[in-house]
Structure 1
Amino acid sequence: MENCTLLISTYNWPQALDLCLQSVMKQSKLPKEIVIADDGSDRDTAEIIDKYRIVNKVPIKHVWQEDLGFRKSLIMNKAVKGASYEYIVQIDGDVILNRNFIEDHLIVAERSTFVRGTRAHIRKEYVQEMFLNSQSDFKFYSKGIKNRFNAIRLPSLSWLVSKRELSGRSVRGCNMAFWKTDFVQVNGYNNDLKGWGHEDEELATRLVNNGIIKKSVKFRCIQYHIFHPLASRELENIHDDLLFDVRNNKIIRCENGYENSFYK
């Protein structure tokens, strides 16, 4: 795989997005474009994006929708519509990428699969210092890291610990990659999932129900998640019920998804 779109979701955390984009610009292999899925951020986020447009290393599309509460599924569908390339690497705007992140994803890309990566974490007590130093380069031994095992990059051993399975469990959109055609076939994210909870896992389960294999990757595709307070979980039980239905009834397409999402 030679080309990809990097899809970044964000909402009103320009400091984090700034460091995220710094790490993107340092990649050993740059994505061909960046599409930012913005769920209603204010002007500060747009200014950060404009700063990286001036750098002009990678074309950036800013797909924005009005802030009407947590509507990540809808903005992700709109952003995928704006993607020019067939392979999409998806992250959140609150992660910092290892410099080989995109290169690794392109190496492990394979037809009839989607990729599920893992993440290390930047500790709460180190976040202020990280922002103060504008730090966008981390290693597994760096100060402030936990879950260090997930920060070890060993490409020669990656194939030994990576696995394939027909399961959508434990998928997070912060480190995921898929083929746009596979995404469209299941009608993308479910727009009826509003508020936090399991929208990525629900999508992954429908991909699996359609015969697309989850490829879980270790020792490659390394990223570092910046600590932040948890979002409201008040709708999680409703989302759990929908996910249960999708899993047990082998549902492939959602009713209200990609085809119902309009990108301008």
Structure 2
Amino acid sequence: MLNLQIEKRLQGAGGEMKLHVDLAIEEGSFVAVAGESGSGKTTLLRILAGLEKAEGRIVISGETWMDSGYSMPVQRRKIGFVFQDYALFENMTVEENLLFVEEDRVLSSKLLEMTELVSLKGRMPGTLSGGQKQRVALCRAMMKKPTLLLMDEPLSALDPVMRQKLQQEITALHRTFGTTTLMVSHDPSEIYRLADRVLVLDRGEVVADGSPKEVLLKTQGSQKFSFEGELLDITKVDVIYVAVISIGQQLVEVVVSSQEAKHLTIGQKVMVSTKAFAPMIV
């Protein structure tokens, strides 16, 4: 069990706020941490890693990592940390990046095989694609067989096809090693595929905590579909108004009334929902 009672004063976009987290997380679970930028997500991961100080208590599998003035050194914490920018050693080969963490060639070979990197083990990071670099970073994080794997938006810079492939590899590694995983992500589909629990932070407070379905599905009452998007444009066509809305990677047009158009502003977040809908999946 991972028990967290954390408090820390932060300076967010809206001024000073307090990160306040009081949670118990089952060992071997995959927890996604979501929320607006500046809500405290990355700070939470850095506190768990020992990279930032905070008040409170962290106990993992009966081992105290932080408590009333005591903070276990980073190097003694059994963690793996995957950053968004890879953070690889550019002067080392793929294999050397892994072996620098732990001189275990059996484990490094297993990880390289699981992530289809065996043929690239002698290459330097500068010759790899973004997806390949992120796979190396993931393997390197697993070299100590960490009790806790922390990932800070590890796939956000990758294209959709590569993201989906790496999501499968993350799932495979998570299940194989039974690691407790916390991942910061803004991508609902990624969270749904990977996580069994979702925490949503807002100005340092946990405002939602549940399964991906409970937290992410945006339907209310008799709504069948509901999507959040950004209003890009409103144009008048004859007697109606047409709103152009960005939803994920798609642009959609929605007919709105003149009364609705008066209350809409370009750039604002909107919800698009429907009650009567017979969808086709092709």
TM-score class, shorter = under 0.3
Higher-strand-fraction structure: 2
Q: Which has the higher contact order (CA 8 A, sep 6+)?
A: 1
